[in-house]
Chains A and B, each alone.
Chain A
Amino acid sequence: MNGDVLLILIVVLPFVGSVLAATFRPNARNSEAWLAGGVALACLILAAIAYPAIVEHGAIRSESEWLPTLGLNFTLRMDGFAWLFSVLVSGFGFLVVLYARYYMSPHDPVPRFFAFLLAFMGAMLGMVISGNLVLLVIFWELTSIFSFLLIGYWHHNAGARDGARMALTITGIGGLGLLVGVLLIGHIVGSYDLDRVLAAGDQIREHDLYVPALILILLGTLTKSAQFPFHFWLPNAMAAPTPVSAYLHSATMVKAGVFLMARLWPVLSGTPEWFWIVGFAGMASLLVGAFFAIFQHDLKGLLAYSTISHLGLITMLLSLGSPLGAVAAIFHMINHATFKASLFMAAGIIDHETGTRDMRRLGGLFRYMPITATLAMVASAAMAGVPLLNGFLSKEMFFAEAIETHAKSVLDTSAPYVAVLASAFAVTYSLRFIHTVFFGPKPTGLERQPHEPPFWMRFPIQFLVLACLVVGTIPALTVGPFLHTAVISVLGPNTPFYSLAVWHGFTLPLLMSAVALVAGVVLYLLLNGYLNRSEAGPPFIRRLQAQRIFERVLVVLSWKWARSIEARLGTRRLQPQLRLLVVAAFIAALLPISLDDLSLTSLRISEIDAVFVLIWVSGICCAVSAAYQAKYHRLAALILLGGAGLSTCITFAWFSAPDLALTQLLVEIVTTVLLLLGLRWLPKRIEEEGPKTVSLGTRFRRVRDFGIAVAAGGGVGVLAFVAMTSPVPLETVASYYLEKAYVEGGGKNVVNVILVDFRGFDTLGEVSVLAVVALTVFALLRRFRPAADSIAVPDQQRMQNDFDEAEPDRKVGDTIADYLLVPAVIMQWAFPVIIVLATYLFLRGHDLPGGGFVAGIAMAAAFILQYMAAGTRWVEERLRILPVSWIGLGLLLAALTGMGAWLFGYPFLTTYSQYVELPTVGATPLATALLFDLGVLGIVVGATVLMLIALAHQSTRGLRSARVATEAEQEEA
């Protein structure tokens, strides 16, 4: 088979299997197992097929383009080391699937379990055969994610949830660190390709960024392999189903950290930084893990701490920077996986059969399950490092390395002692595991009678234990060649001579082993009584649990700090936000100013017209007073605002812009009227109670806000002044418009030509805004119910009504009808007049002040007058008003007019104009722009009237709600 296809298959198969597995029925235990087992076996076979090629060529590669420009390709690369891990992952995967088939209850929803398990297998395989470091990180993170999902498989247990979350948090942090570390490596080397990186060892070690890159990568590896001080997630991950613990948390995933350290060993190791960080973490994990393991009562807890310790051993071996250490590390990776997985499975069987994993409750199980007990004993012996088992071999190599001096330091000097001590601890906890579980008195209070598990459930353990034995007795003939292939692929030409013999003669390491064995047994005998009585956890520091600290930190971070910072830096109130906005704009405008460049044009008094100044002074007074009164007297503020608008209006007229003046005037009128209508429904101002004493804080705030307002307003004023007094740029669009308006636009009124032709697209957009705003106002007010305090009838109206009621010959409403009689008649009669005026304004627009916009507002004013004169009901009974349709039609007309140009091959909104001789009217300008303008008219009328209606209907609603309220009161009474 082609190497390319083979590698891709190995990665893809498990994921395909995972997706398939997820679709099975919930209780399809058997078919799931067949599927998963088949996938695992297939991967194993694929790996086996690849072996000859790897031995021959050193590595096989497959490269498919993915993100070539970023240097991230889907590169797979299997060398001896990756091959070894692929076999471990798929082989153990097969055994675990077999085991899980019997372990999982028939009621468990297994599709999820097997789907995650297979996906994990795929991720792990992808990780080990990644030929690109970023790809490796991707698969790395995937293993963390699937580990999270598998730990939390029984998520109804709080322990499983917490354990899963902690595992993902810790390994996730590490993974993110690893990513940055890998990016730095890529920055140094210029490529993420593993081959290129492995060839650039010197370059990396000499680079300034070596230390940060190293620290970040180690953050990833040490968290993943549960090394001190990140070890605490692993014991908590034991809430996972036992097959998961056996597979992920002893044999494969936790090995990812040491795998990567070994992978990058030729590149990163050999520096003091590497030695210190890795060595310290390894030694601490070795010792702390072994020590803590002794004091666990939970079988899986013991095994978890033992795993930490053994991974510490591997880490320490890697820290030394000596090739022999690396060989021992790789060898121990295999050995540890073998015996630890079998022990986990045995623990699972015990749990399965007895219903408990608490060593204090267990005992004497040998009589019930002799075969399992024997297997567990052999595996424990391997874990303890008893001769003739595989654990012994790698431990001897470790001892031999520990004696050697690699770098003169405390760490190196203490290594042999620490090694022996940890080894003794390992003997102690192994002994405890066997002794308390299988020997001694019969267990009491068990839910059921334990017995041997089914053969196939035990088979994986048998197989692994056999492997321990065979490797332990004839290593050179069994694992030797494969180990050698792996070692060569890591160390290359630096591969040292090493011997896998069981017997090396009477050496110092052998003596150390003997000492450790004896000391371990003695320690167990001493501690046995205490252990059965004590709580779980080592003495004295039992309370100091890293897990607690971790959770505490999380809570403080997320709950206390984050929330208080969020509250401090953010706000939900409008006022501070607006203040911030104004201040930000002010500062932003201030930043570009450098004083020496700024020149204010000096004002020449002679050019000032007194009347014009007067208009502006009164306008400014109006605006300031409006702001001042906005809070205290809304009506006054509104009227004053009108005054300010009026002075703008006059200004336009003053500077010969009659068109703008006219529009501004009408807009002022209509908006003021609409606002007045709305004013009625605003809630009443909250009257201040008590004496008017203003606190210092309030006073300060007011002064500050006043200062901000003056500064920002003044700033805008100065800007406007500077902008308007500085010389006009030579070539502006304005001059062009003046030139072309009549020649090409066909109109003498330049403003109108700009609106409907030059920038007709803007107009189309702006009228759309108007339309949308009207719809929004309508949609909002349709639901609006007047506030309770504004429902009441105003005093004036109440007095009029009282008067009408008091007089026998008057009906309610007569007074108002009386004194509005004359204006009402005038207003009603004005309707046709205004319509004609609007038409006139509309038609003359292209050449003289006027146009669709002005005409529309004028027409809307006609409707407003009708509503004011006769009331909502009266008007709506007589006039069928469909403002939304007017808007829609107007928009369509405008858009279609623009599209008309397409028929002649011109872009949207290209206009065509001509004068047409009409009877009686005379020469009339007839531009397509006129149609466009008609659309504008429709929209303006429709939108204004729609808003008017939305407001006007409040009064009918207000009355209704008032009626409902009184009725309710009466009912209560």
Chain B
Amino acid sequence: MTGWSHHLIIAPVLLPLAAGALLMLYDERRQFLKATINLASTFALVVISIRLAEVADTSATSVYLLGNWPAPLGIVLVLDRLSALMLVLTSFLASAALVFALARWHKAGAHFHTLFQFLLMGLNGAFLTGDLFNLFVFFEVMLAASYGLVLHGSGPLRVKAGLHYIAINLAASFLFLIGVSLIYGVTGTLNMADLAVRISGLAAGDRILLEIGAAVLGVAFLVKAGMWPLSNWLPNAYSVAAAPVAAVFALLSKVGIYVLLRLSLLVFGAHAGSSADFGSGLLIVGGMATIAFGMIGVIASQALGRLASYSVLVSSGTLLAAIGMSDAGVTAGALFYLVSSTITVGALFLLIELIERGQNPAADILAVTAEAFGDGDEEAVEEQVGVAFPGTLAILGVCFAICGLLLAGLPPLSGFIGKFALLAAVLTPAAGTDGGILSAAWLYTALLILSGLAALLSMLRFGIRTFWAPIEVVVPRVSLREIVPVVLLLLLTLGLTIQGGPVMRYMQATASSLHSPQQYVDGVLGAPRVQPQGAKAE
């Protein structure tokens, strides 16, 4: 990429930043204008991220030197297949959640649109950055916006769970800082690629400090990813958050996964000497414990919101253990699974609100119109009369069933393919071993299957209770704006299924470049500065 198109790499950060800033200039009463700006920015991100994915898939690692400072010294943004993949996922899920929110949720509190844009900025920045401290900064942007969004809609339940969420994540941020400081103190660099180079030359004593730093840093990411037993905040916060917020949060827990995947393969790859595969055993054990805990939670859930939240944990655990196995085939499967499960849970969070609206019409109105109990200076809520088309319940039912299939990993949709790809890779021993299957692989297989079964049983129970045997049939009022995003997300999983071949090829290419990070390192450290006009480029 050359010329102006090179700046496209930074667009996923700058566009939401500018949009968010612009939104602040307009008064809360100009909801339509705000919604338009928000939508325009989010949809533009879809286009940009797809374009970036194309670029990432064809060319080598693209590097953007901020301030034109050379690589280990300034901050870099790095676009490779993995970051492009996460950008695409983010933009799609965000678009769906936003359209959904525009039906009514965006009016349930102040500054929804601004916070939403900053959340996207934080997410995109975290996926793009190649600098450890800059990662911290974008984590904070993302978290700060998520603090606002988790409280969006207010109400005692939300505030209580939201404040817990803030407290835990602030504590995790401290750990993040401690970890980064230690790593910087030992290696003298914050650039991830540079870190990967320097780690091999560390003295034994320094190596311990670095590993301590990495361990503390890892705990911070594990909190974010929701590894048991650090995951208790997650079901509580996710299940009470407003539906579109919860849908985007499904992605938030994947940020922790993303960073662990990136750093463990980049920094603690085979070149890291005695630090190679640092912490991978812990990831496997912790991941499996998380699957088990999430699975139990899924079965025990008495409300759909908690079921979906525990599904997030199951998905996290599956991915953590897969990262711990550090095998290219497993990583490829895990990436497919990541995309599929994130979309699934996102769609499910949106769907749940629509379904539960039918069960108790008073509940959500209470949340949304809490506004009405406020002061006189707050705008009155406009009654949003949805288009109640006759087949509402049927469509909701079909969507719910599809979500169930996806969660349980039953065919024919992408949930199955993700699980199949993971299992096929796990049960295929890496070259060089004696061909047997490790006990960890057996356990993982069993947990993956059992967690699918747990999801199946639980979704069956809720589905039958809701659609087949309702105590009183209340057809929920659902506007087109709310159901279309859900349907589109589910169609996306269908697309992932049908286009499984190309998608899987992309994932495998991603995995193989992650497992041989030399290209990434060379790309970052060798990125040329822009020379002053007239002078020739190096």
Q: Using a CB–CB distance below 8 Å, which chain A residues touch chain B?
A: 65-72, 134, 137-139, 141-142, 145, 152, 155-156, 158, 161, 164-165, 168-169, 172-173, 175-177, 179-180, 183-184, 186-187, 208-209, 554, 557-559, 562-563, 565-566, 569-572, 574, 576-578, 580-582, 584-585, 588-589, 591-594, 597-599, 716, 719, 722-724, 726, 728-734, 736-737, 757-762, 764-766, 768-769, 771-773, 775-776, 778-780, 782-783, 884-885, 887-892, 895, 898-899, 901-902, 904-911, 957
**CB within 8 Å for A911 and B67 given contacts A158-B469, A570-B297, A585-B216:** yes
**26 residue pairs bridging A and B, Cβ less than 8 Å apart:** A67-B417, A141-B410, A177-B449, A569-B296, A570-B235, A581-B223, A584-B230, A588-B215, A589-B216, A591-B282, A592-B212, A594-B208, A732-B188, A760-B66, A761-B134, A765-B137, A765-B140, A772-B114, A772-B118, A772-B141, A776-B144, A779-B110, A780-B151, A782-B378, A888-B24, A902-B7
Give the Cβ gap from A59 to chain B, nearest Cβ, in Å. 24
| Contact present for A910 and B67 (CB under 8 Å) | yes
| Residues on A with beta carbons closer than 8 Å to the beta carbon of B21 | 887-892, 895
Main secondary structure of the interface of B (DSSP, over half): helix
| Contact present for B424 and A71 (CB under 8 Å) | yes
| Contact present for B175 and A562 (CB under 8 Å) | no
**CB within 8 Å for A70 and B420 given contacts A580-B230, A765-B134:** yes
A515 to B196, CA, bound (A): 82
Segment touching A, from B46-54, B257-265, B486-494, B501-509: B501-509
Sample of 20 further A-B pairs with CB below 8 A, known A728-B188, A737-B73: A138-B411, A172-B453, A558-B299, A558-B300, A570-B293, A577-B230, A581-B171, A719-B212, A732-B188, A761-B75, A764-B17, A765-B140, A775-B110, A887-B21, A888-B21, A891-B20, A907-B10, A907-B64, A907-B68, A908-B67
Give the Cβ gap from B424 to chain A, nearest Cβ, in Å. 6
A622 to B20, CA, bound (A): 40
| Residues on B with beta carbons closer than 8 Å to the beta carbon of A895 | 14, 17-18, 21
| Contact present for A733 and B73 (CB under 8 Å) | yes
| Contact present for B233 and A577 (CB under 8 Å) | yes
Name the contact of B189 in the complex, choosing from A184, A576, A733, A898 (C-beta under 8 A).
Answer: A733
A588 to B212, CA, bound (A): 7
A396 to B284, CA, bound (A): 56
**CB within 8 Å for A729 and B186 given contacts A578-B168, A592-B211:** yes
Name the contact of A783 in the complex, choosing from B10, B72, B154, B215 (C-beta under 8 A).
Answer: B154
A604 to B233, CA, bound (A): 46
Q: Mark B163-197, 1 if CB is under 8 A from A, else 0.
A: 01001100110010010011001111110000000
| Contact present for A772 and B67 (CB under 8 Å) | no
Which residue from chain A places its CB closest to the CB of B217 in the assembled complex? A588
Q: Which of B69, B236, B467 lies at the interface centre, i.e. has the most chain A CB atoms within 10 A of its CB?
A: B69
Segment touching A, from B78-86, B91-99, B244-252, B456-464: B456-464
| Contact present for A588 and B299 (CB under 8 Å) | no
A759 to B72, CA, bound (A): 12
Name the contact of B456 in the complex, choosing from A169, A906, A909 (C-beta under 8 A).
Answer: A169
Q: Mark B415-446, 1 if CB is under 8 A from A, else 0.
A: 01100110110011000000011000000010
| Contact present for B423 and A180 (CB under 8 Å) | yes
| Residues on B with beta carbons closer than 8 Å to the beta carbon of A576 | 232
Name the contact of A902 in the complex, choosing from B4, B185, B215 (C-beta under 8 A).
Answer: B4
Name the contact of B427 in the complex, choosing from A187, A731, A780 (C-beta under 8 A).
Answer: A187
Q: Which of A65, A70, A902 lies at the interface centre, i.e. has the most chain B CB atoms within 10 A of its CB?
A: A70
| Contact present for A733 and B190 (CB under 8 Å) | yes
| Contact present for B133 and A762 (CB under 8 Å) | yes
A887 to B24, CA, bound (A): 7
For the complex of A and B, list the 10 residue pairs with the smallest distance between their C-beta atoms, beginning with the closest.
A888-B24, A732-B188, A592-B211, A776-B148, A729-B188, A891-B21, A765-B137, A155-B468, A562-B300, A138-B411
B219 within 8 A of A: yes
A907 to B529, CA, bound (A): 9
A168 to B370, CA, bound (A): 42
| Residues on B with beta carbons closer than 8 Å to the beta carbon of A145 | 405, 410
Q: Which of A577, A890, A910 lies at the interface centre, i.e. has the most chain B CB atoms within 10 A of its CB?
A: A577
| Contact present for B144 and A772 (CB under 8 Å) | yes
Give the Cβ gap from B337 to chain A, nearest Cβ, in Å. 13
Main secondary structure of the interface of A (DSSP, over half): helix
B102 within 8 A of A: no
| Residues on A with beta carbons closer than 8 Å to the beta carbon of B501 | 65-69
A761 to B228, CA, bound (A): 34
Which residue from chain A places its CB closest to the CB of B398 in the assembled complex? A22
| Contact present for B188 and A733 (CB under 8 Å) | yes
| Contact present for B151 and A776 (CB under 8 Å) | yes
| Contact present for A134 and B125 (CB under 8 Å) | no
**CB within 8 Å for A772 and B134 given contacts A572-B236, A761-B67:** no
Which residue from chain A places its CB closest to the CB of B465 in the assembled complex? A161
**CB within 8 Å for A884 and B24 given contacts A141-B410, A169-B457:** yes
| Residues on A with beta carbons closer than 8 Å to the beta carbon of B125 | 765
Q: Mark B283-316, 1 if CB is under 8 A from A, else 0.
A: 0000000000100110110000000000000000
| Residues on B with beta carbons closer than 8 Å to the beta carbon of A780 | 148, 151, 154, 159
Q: Which of A566, A776, A885, A899 lies at the interface centre, i.e. has the most chain B CB atoms within 10 A of its CB?
A: A776
B23 within 8 A of A: yes
| Residues on A with beta carbons closer than 8 Å to the beta carbon of B458 | 558
Q: Which of B175, B300, B428 lies at the interface centre, i.e. has the most chain A CB atoms within 10 A of its CB?
A: B300
Give the Cβ gap from A505 to chain B, nearest Cβ, in Å. 51
Name the contact of A69 in the complex, choosing from B278, B453, B504 (C-beta under 8 A).
Answer: B504
Within 8 A of A (CB), among B1-34: 4, 6-7, 10, 14, 17-18, 20-25
| Contact present for B410 and A566 (CB under 8 Å) | no
| Contact present for B205 and A723 (CB under 8 Å) | no
Within 8 A of A (CB), among B515-538: 530, 533
A729 to B72, CA, bound (A): 14
B218 within 8 A of A: yes
B229 within 8 A of A: yes
**CB within 8 Å for A783 and B186 given contacts A69-B504, A176-B449, A766-B137:** no
| Residues on A with beta carbons closer than 8 Å to the beta carbon of B361 | none
| Contact present for A779 and B148 (CB under 8 Å) | yes
| Contact present for A783 and B188 (CB under 8 Å) | no
| Residues on A with beta carbons closer than 8 Å to the beta carbon of B229 | 569, 580, 584
| Contact present for B67 and A760 (CB under 8 Å) | yes
Give the Cβ gap from A941 to chain B, nearest Cβ, in Å. 14
Name the contact of B182 in the complex, choosing from A176, A558, A723, A904 (C-beta under 8 A).
Answer: A723
A559 to B141, CA, bound (A): 40
A68 to B504, CA, bound (A): 9
B317 within 8 A of A: no
A901 to B178, CA, bound (A): 34
B323 within 8 A of A: no
Q: Which of A591, A772, A911 lies at the interface centre, i.e. has the most chain B CB atoms within 10 A of its CB?
A: A772
| Contact present for A578 and B420 (CB under 8 Å) | no
Give the Cβ gap from A162 to chain B, nearest Cβ, in Å. 9
**CB within 8 Å for A768 and B141 given contacts A179-B420, A183-B423, A729-B188:** yes
